[in-house]
Amino acid sequence: MVDPERCTMCGLCIQVCPLDIFVEGSKIAQTIKPESCYYCGHCKALCPEDALHFPVLPEEDFKPVLGAAERPNPERLLLQFRSRRTTRHFRPGAVEREKLEKIIQAGRYAPTGHNNQAVQYLVVQTPQALSELKEQALKALAGLVKEFEKRTETARGKQGSSPKPAAFGRYAPASPSGIRKKVEAAQRGKDLLFYNAPVLMICHTDPSKTSFPEWDVSLATMQMLLMAEALGLGTCLNGSLVYAIEYSAELRSALPIPAEHEIPVCFMVGYPALNFLRTVYRQPVQVTWL
């Protein structure tokens, strides 16, 4: 909706709309094919007079953006990126609900293709639920390793052949060695799967609602990891759990997640037991400039 008392026909909404919903009217900007709108909010965010309104969206969600002086200094922002590390030693004790909600809010505001906002979250935070999920996941991973080794043995007689990753699902390990280590550690009473973290977050999405489900989930996850860091929490991405869920139909069906959803990312959250004092090292970046 365009407020005729506020619109000055500056034309910015016409220029910014990715779907060409706005056209120049006699006195104010007018909308055509409004049913095509996917509520990205570019028009309202750009309008200097705040003349645009979405009847189905809460007005309080459109807050003023940070001014140039309030935005993070680029050098300090890069230092924050370099300071984030994977946490594999967590302190015992729960994470406050309000902090978990802030982490989820950070994911909520990540960009998604066509503003579909199809990413959803499962938060596992009770000791019993974590223990049951870990037991099921380790059982699935043990089965995955066993099958991987069986297929490898069968393939040895065929020159150049090896188990095809697709045989183990959409998300499949290239090698079982790391997974085997986690299974064997569990048998000794050591948790190398969840690292005794008090919270596990599983990010999932309906692939029919987005063209790039992995992109949407990955972008949301990175913002969540950085928010956790800002809240004094540590995080650890868990690819082994993704493998287990993809491999085991029994484990997959036990999760309260729609069967058609993809689960590309899982990560643990908790207070770190160890505090890093120096930034992370990365190899020299490889860039091709055209």
pLDDT single digits (tens) 104-139: 999 999 999 889 999 999 999 999 999 999 999 999
In a domain, 73, yes or no: no
Q: Say if residue 144 is in the same domain as residue 45.
A: no
Q: Average pLDDT in the 146-164 region?
A: 72
Say how many domains are in the chain: 2
Mean model confidence pLDDT for the chain: 92
Helix (H) or strand (E) holding 122: strand 119-124
Give residue 268's domain range. 86-276
| Contact by Cβ (8 Å): 222, 111 | no
Which pLDDT belongs to residue 131?
A: 97
Q: Say if residue 35 is in the same domain as residue 124.
A: no
| Contact by Cβ (8 Å): 25, 7 | no
Question: Quick one: pLDDT band at residue 148, thresholds 50, 70, 90?
Answer: confident
In a domain, 127, yes or no: yes
Residue 257 identity: I
Instruction: For 205-223, write each residue's pLDDT tens digit.
Output: 999 999 899 999 999 999 9
Token pair 């290239």 in the structure block, residue: 174
Q: Say if residue 232 is in the same domain as residue 116.
A: yes
| Contact by Cβ (8 Å): 268, 236 | yes
Three-class secondary structure of residue 30 per DSSP? strand
CATH number at residue 33: 3.30.70.20
CATH number at residue 249: 3.40.109.10
Q: Say if residue 22 is in the same domain as residue 104.
A: no
Question: Quick one: pLDDT band at residue 275, thresholds 50, 70, 90?
Answer: very high
Q: What is the pTM of this model?
A: 0.90
CA distance 265 to 86: 15
In a domain, 281, yes or no: no
Instruction: For 21-77, write each residue's pLDDT tens digit.
Output: 999 998 899 999 888 999 999 999 999 999 999 988 999 999 999 999 999 899 999
Rg for the chain, CA atoms, rounded? 24
User: Within a 13 Å sphere around the CA of 209, how many CA atoms are in the beta-carbon half?
Assistant: 16
Closest CA to 237 of 273, 201, 213, 205: 201
Sheet containing strand 262-270, edge to edge, reads: 119-124, 199-205, 262-270, 234-237
Which pLDDT belongs to residue 157?
A: 61
The fraction of the chain above a pLDDT of 90, given in percent, is: 81
Q: Say if residue 117 is in the same domain as residue 53.
A: no
Helix (H) or strand (E) holding 251: helix 249-254
In a domain, 190, yes or no: yes
